[in-house]
Structure 1
Amino acid sequence: TRSSDLNAHANPGEMVTIPLIINNTQDVYGVQVFLTSAPAYISGIAVGTTTYHDFSNWTVEGNNVGDQYRILLFNTSLNNPLPQGTGHIADISLFVDANAPIGTVVQLFMEEVVVVDQNNIPMHTELFESNVYIGTPDAIYSIGDVNESSQTITIDLENTAPVYVTELDLADAPDGIQITNVAPTGRFNGSVDGQSGETEDGIGYILAYDLASGIAVGSGPILEISYDIRMDTGFFGDVITWLSSVSSADASLNAIPSSGDGFAILDANLNVETDILAPIKFSLHPAFPNPFNPTTNIRYDLPHAGYVVLRVFDLAGREIRTLARGFDLSGSRSVVWDGRDNHGRNVSAGVYIYRLEASGLVESQKMVLLK
């Protein structure tokens, strides 16, 4: 069994959500994780399960134990285990200390992890660390559009300073992805170093540069990665991939604060039926109920996998809450807004705008919060 919670960034005094991913080769009946941050600027707030599995008869708990955050998911009925495969099973809500220094990189460690079978016998586990950058870095890399038919992934960059050199590590679990080519695309017209590709330890290494003009300030795709799924490595089900390490440099080759966000889950057994069931149109639906108090549901449709951002703004254009940020598969989604801002505070009654951005498309709707 492999478990991971991936990279992110957040400002001091704000909440950040990281996914809990599992790849298991046998049915799982329980998961317990103790999450530790170093330096200790991040504390746990809540854990919530996803729609990957029916967790209705599972115990789901999150609580602080000393300087650790304990996460427990346990199938109390013992008849509804997590099946073999790879899935995003839960989201962990964390709070960044208001006094955390900008520019600090906080490491998140999963310790004392126990994953059990039907007989409550622990399984062998492999863990992956995560990093949270405190503040808003000048260069934010993310996994963009994923085309499983052509087996390509784009790497997007949102940068507030010109970037002349980019160095990325693309990890996968299990080790099932083989990088076959890396090419410039979109906003990047430079070169990809010949060493880019799969390394001996299974990590995808990418070095790209444009020492003449760099990548101008902006956002959008910069690289297209072609890949193969290796079927001879003994893994079961899908493969997760994420940016495990990123770095950037300016024209003088000085380091630029950077972070790599998001992940993608690639279907190792892609079938036509899955594609047919995907929505045919990008759409953001009216919130329901609307007006509302205290919560409302926001639904949206994604015809293609890609990087998604769903945010709430007030009428002055100030961001109130980020409800979703990261890679998502094609399909219909539903997100609940509880009338709180990014700091966990209740907002005042009034009209709010919720905006969905995905694959270069943007849609907005209005909703009214009553008190």
Structure 2
Amino acid sequence: MPFRIILSKIVFLAFGLRFIFAQVDVIGDRTFLFIQNNNEINLPFFSNQSLDTPNYSVQKAVIVIHGANRNADDYYNSIYNNASDLGVLSETIIIAPQFLITADLNHWQPSTEFAFWSGTTPWSSGGLSNFTNEHPRDYEISSYTIMDSLIAHLLTIYPNIQDIALAGNSAGGQFVNRYAAGSDQDAEGKIRYIVSAPSSYVYMDEYRYREYLFPINWELPENCVGYNDYKYGLDDLNDYMSMMGIDSIRERYSRRKIQYLIGSIDTGGTQDCESMTQGSNRLERSIIYYNYLQYFYGSQIVDNQQIALISGIGHDHNGIFSSSCGRNAIFNIGDCEQYDNLIYPSSNFSSNNIFGEYPHTVNFINESVAGTHPLYSFLWNINDSLIYFDGNLGYTFSYPGLFDVSLIAFDQVGFSDTSVHQSLVHIDTLYGDIDWDTEVTDSDASLVLSHIVGDELLSPLQQATGDASNSASLSAFDASLILQFISGIIDGIPIHDSDSFIANGDLQSPEILGEVGDIVTIPISIENSNNLHSFTISFTYNNVQLESGSVYLGTISDYGFLVESSVSDSGSIIVTGASPTSMDGDFDLFTMYFIPTEFENGQLEIECNQIMLNEVTQEQSFSIIISNQLQVGDDIIPGRISLGNNFPNPFNSNTSINVYSDTNKDVFLYLNDINGRLVKVLLDTEKSKGLKTIHWSGTNDLGIKVQSGIYFYTLETEGFKETKKMILLK
């Protein structure tokens, strides 16, 4: 028969009966009888009133749930004594149900067919009652179904009841926490829930402590696969809870009027991994759970649910129930500032010495004030750095800018307040000091160039610091100005007028011939240059047709230029350079090397898509055409001779030189050292025609390895002579 139908057939009877057993000291002197299909089962309880005789003078009910020891009599006596002290005993019915376990029945063998459970977890989480061969039962029933029925019966017998307090401590606190989430028994809106000192709570989703800021730290258990299974979360719900559904559980819990109680020195608790994901002890778990509810539901949850820490109390139900906040929660009598007059903490701070050059230390004075609860911890946010620090804080700013500073003050239960001072700290900019080491050096200029070619990624603040031309962008000209400042050529940066730094010049490259698989050398030079301090030149090419792109410097490095370059796999090259002094005239900038893999219609094109001299983009249209020398045929200019740049250059073992001649003249290629002495004859042929690639392994005519240094190679024939430089490194 479906579970709901079974419930509809339960009827309620009560009669007096008293048992005394040593196992649990006392079994309840009254029983609550459930009948289903003429089958009976009983639940013992303690009470100061009968459940079978109407009483119109009773206006309040307190149902108190015991802990794992099942000592319902102690819990009943605690509530009874407090009600008597407060003078409300005559108008209050007190009920202390007793959820026995198998061990109790095994020991005492009672004649009454009591409902019993296999252990603490089943009855505290709404599980079904147990049956054994020794203690057979006609049916099973959820502990939460019993509570639903008890409350419904209570309202029938005591029609003038205006307030029902369902309170539980320890395992009883777990019972109330989960029952409040799962039960649809709202008792006509009259029920309130008091959750005291449980060892664990039911979480509404899979997230735990790390999802919010409140700073309690403990070692989270690893590989705790069941941490979100019910009773700790909402996975794998039992029969009772699954009937309600997860969405209903979440929505219902947010509407419950719940007051949480926990002793301020209650640092014990279960140590299973599922509980440990919620905190290291009961005190922490209660505080964390209350903060979690605000994270999950929003801050408005505190309108329905409050928490109180009972000073100086450990895991003691009577100490908690008898405290002013315990009485306030259970009986709605007396004062509890933590509930009635809650004051949030107030965050505030002052500071001094908030202006200066980096590195600069600012002292922040914490002036936060506690509210109802003592201040617990503080979270500073300085320059997007989160710092937990109690008391005053000294912070050193290591780079320039305007900095916001905020402080969050947390109290003992996680309530917080935030104070924010925007643009509080002013750290002056040292223009050109991109690496923020308090000095402007060549390395800062190199960082600018590396950023331009993509080898370094400078932050927006670093780019602004390097903007020595005050142009709101970063260019190689900024690197030049940094070098000029270091050299003393200009007095300071940034400059405010760059009109005197206009440069011009024209890029040049000779006609290039090549064959598939051979190294193609492409020298790039500038002619008619004037006032040149920096350059940035970029190319694009078909990276399928041209492979192994590389760049080597020309004579420009001899004139004090810092140069950076990059070659991308997608087919682009960027070369940029800067010098402290201006250059005029004609000179080599750099050389590019490629290996063609195929020619399209006998030609390959390398397109120049940016030419920037100083800080001005040039209008020159420039591209490089590589012609396949096997297909040029009659188009070759008669008598053409060319000497290519060696590759690689510099080199440390082998380098190659391309020589082309379209004549039948004798061709000589020889090598001299820097003093002009002949080192080696590399080519000596008669009537040499076509493209030749000459290799040199760094040896002289005797086969002996020569020293590192600068060497000059010369191509000479009738009516033609050309010399170029190479560098041997070891």
For normalisation by structure 1, the TM-score amounts to: 0.38
Greater helix proportion? 2
Greater strand proportion? 1
Q: Report 1 or 2 for greater relative contact order, CA contacts < 8 Å, sequence distance ≥ 6.
A: 1
Q: Which has the larger radius of gyration?
A: 2
